[in-house]
Chain A
Amino acid sequence: MMNNTDDIRWVTQLTLLGDKTAFDKLTQKYQSPIRRFFLNLTVGDTQLSDDLAQETFIKAYLNINSFKGISGFSTWLYRIAYNVYYDSVRARKYYADINEQVIDNQHQMQNEFSTEKMDIYKALNLLRKEEQTAVLLFYMEDKTHNEIAKIMNCPLGTVKTYILKGKEKLGVYLNKNGYGNEQN
């Protein structure tokens, strides 16, 4: 569980005193989860995920005055990340041109994290974009349904549906690939 008190203190230092080192601390704290989130959404493209993560942190810095503290800083940051990602998808039409084989060939070579992670990328690739996002936020980033609804800016019921559908599809895939047996 991340410590929200530190976040609020650093955000206050940044907004009131213009203390950039406070933002550096926030970046160091959240770089791993945000980069992991993008890495999974881009099915292992390290370069793209790092570019998107950088854009997210710069946008967060420039819009820090808009953070109201109603939700945690982490939720706010994920919301920016979510918007950055979908802007990127719209701009590049990235996923329309991608197929599983290209991912296998392209990223297995270039991504230091991905060689052992192909199963998760293959599994995530079975889901629709919204399902991927909701499932990743719920199972990987330990966000609650309410937080996901805020991040994705959609009703709670819709989030639950995305997770349920994603869960069904992934369940079938994992059982088919022997994961269910390992657990028994």
Chain B
Amino acid sequence: METNKTDNLLKTFFSENKQEIPDNGFSRLVMAKIPEQTDHSWIVWIFAVTGLAISMYFGISFGIFQYVQVIFEKIPIIYLIGGIFFFPLIGTAGYYIVLDKRFQLI
């Protein structure tokens, strides 16, 4: 009973003291201070295309693709399916572990 009374008292007190603060240029100031972020994603594409070209060259020139195909044919299908399902799980778990805890999981 007493706890409820205090609870109501606090609710009233805080709602009476709740103020809406006018923007007054605050948002504009924040936007002006936001650092420009240069997009470096093109580096990823250069490496990806180069890597793909090199692997295609060696794969075709030395018959590595056929060799890989033979290996894959010998792997039991259940291992392949398992790999496909587990890779995203392990990847996601690793991603969350590495992420800064301050911004994590919320």
Interface size on A, residues (CB 8 A): 47
**Which residues 150-184 in A have Cβ within 8 Å of B in the complex?**
150, 153, 167-168, 170-171, 174-175, 179-180, 183
Q: Which residues of A are found within 8 Å of B11, using beta-carbon distances?
A: 139
Q: A32–B23 Cα gap in the complex (Å)?
A: 7
Q: A175–B3 Cα gap in the complex (Å)?
A: 13
Contact of A171 among B9, B18, B19, B100 (CB under 8 A): B9
Asked whether any CB of chain B lies closer than 8 Å to the CB of A28, the reply is yes
Q: Which residues of B are found within 8 Å of A139, using beta-carbon distances?
A: 10-11, 13-14
Minimal Cβ-Cβ distance residue in A for B11: A139
The SS class assigned to the A binding surface is: helix
Q: Are B103 and A80 in contact (CB under 8 A)?
A: yes
Q: Which residues of B are found within 8 Å of A123, using beta-carbon distances?
A: 13
The SS class assigned to the B binding surface is: helix
Contact of A20 among B13, B31, B104, B105 (CB under 8 A): B31
Interface size on B, residues (CB 8 A): 34
Contact of B30 among A58, A117, A140 (CB under 8 A): A58
Q: Are A62 and B35 in contact (CB under 8 A)?
A: yes
Task: Identify 27 residue pairs between A and B in the complex whose beta-carbon atoms are under 8 Å apart, listed by A's number.
Answer: A20-B31, A23-B31, A23-B34, A24-B27, A27-B26, A27-B27, A28-B23, A31-B23, A31-B27, A35-B26, A36-B19, A54-B33, A63-B100, A66-B99, A66-B103, A75-B106, A76-B103, A76-B106, A83-B102, A113-B19, A119-B17, A120-B14, A123-B13, A140-B17, A140-B18, A150-B106, A167-B3
Interface residues of B (CB under 8 A from A): 3, 5-14, 17-23, 26-27, 29-31, 33-35, 99-106
Those 3 A-B pairs whose CB atoms lie nearest each other, nearest first = A66-B103, A171-B6, A139-B14
